[in-house]
Structure 1
Amino acid sequence: MTKEIPHIEFNPATTNNFGFEIVPIKDIAKSKNEHKHNPELPHQLKFYNLIFFTEGFGRHFIDFKWYSVQKNSLVYLTKDQVNAFEFSEGLNGYCIIFTEEYFVNSFLNLTNDFVFRLFNPELFSPILQIPKKSEFVNYFNLLLNEYGNSQSFNHKNIINSLLTILISKAENLKQNLTFHISDASKVVVYQNFISLIEKNLTKSRSANFYAKELAISYKHLNTICKELINKTAKNVIDDFIILQAKRNLINSTTTSSELAYKLGFEDPTNFTKYFKKNTGLTPKSFLKSLSKD
Structure 2
Amino acid sequence: MIQTYNISDFPSLQSIDDQFMLERFENLQRPPKFQWPYKRSFYEIMWLTSGTSTNLIDYQQVTVEPNMLFFIYPGQLHLMNKMESVNGFSITFTEQFLLLNMPNEDAISEFCFLDNCYASSFFKLDDKAIEELSPVLNLMLNEITRTEKSPSIVANLLSVFLNRTQRLIIENDKSPQDLTNIVRFKQLKKLIEGNFTKESQISFYADKLNLTAHRVNEICKQVTKKALGEVIRDRVLLEAKRLLLHSVHPIGQICDDLGFKDFSYFSRQFKKRTGLTPAEFRKQMYDKYQNS
Give the TM-score of the pair, scaled to structure 2: 0.83
Matched, 1:108 2:102: yes
Mapping for residues 114-129 of structure 1, pairs under 5 Å: 114-115=108-109, 117-129=112-124
AA at the equivalent of 2:134? V
CA distance in 1, matches of 2:284, 2:207: 38
Q: Could you tell me which residue of structure 2 aligns to residue 13 of structure 1? A: 11
Q: Could you tell me which residue of structure 1 aligns to residue 177 of structure 2? A: 181
CA distance in 2, matches of 1:102, 1:111: 11
AA at the equivalent of 2:166? E
CA distance in 2, matches of 1:101, 1:111: 9
Q: Could you tell me which residue of structure 2 aligns to residue 84 of structure 1? A: 79
Mapping for residues 83-232 of structure 1, pairs under 5 Å: 83-103=78-98, 105-109=99-103, 112=106, 114-115=108-109, 117-134=112-129, 135-151=132-148, 155-178=150-173, 179-182=175-178, 184-207=179-202, 210-211=205-206, 214=209, 216-232=211-227
What is the CA distance between 1:87 and its match in structure 2?
4.2
What is the CA distance between 1:249 and its match in structure 2?
2.7
Q: Could you tell me which residue of structure 1 aligns to residue 284 of structure 2? A: 289
Residues 22-66 of structure 1: CA deviation (Å, up to 9, x unaligned):
2222234xx66x74125xx32111222111111223322211111
SS at match of 2:16: coil
CA distance in 2, matches of 1:86, 1:9: 21
CA distance in 2, matches of 1:166, 1:206: 39
What percentage of residue pairs aligned between the two structures are identical? 26
AA at the equivalent of 1:132? D
Q: Could you tell me which residue of structure 2 aligns to residue 272 of structure 1? A: 267
Structure 1 vs Structure 2 CA RMSD: 2.7
- Check the 8 A contact 2:69/2:125 in 1, yes or no: yes
Q: Could you tell me which residue of structure 2 aligns to residue 27 of structure 1? A: 27
CA distance in 2, matches of 1:195, 1:151: 36
CA distance in 2, matches of 1:271, 1:150: 55
Give the TM-score of the pair, scaled to structure 1: 0.83
Aligned residues: 281
Q: Once structures 1 and 2 are overlaid, which stretch shifts more, 124-133 or 8-17?
A: 8-17
CA distance in 2, matches of 1:89, 1:254: 35
AA at the equivalent of 1:223? E
**4+ residue stretches of structure 1 with deviation over 6 A?**
none
What is the CA distance between 1:274 and its match in structure 2?
2.1
Residues 89-139 of structure 1: CA deviation (Å, up to 9, x unaligned):
222212112234324x42424661543534222221211222223201221
CA distance in 1, matches of 2:121, 2:180: 23
CA distance in 2, matches of 1:113, 1:280: 40
Residues 231-283 of structure 1: CA deviation (Å, up to 9, x unaligned):
22222111121122223333224332222222211123322222222222222
AA at the equivalent of 1:161? N
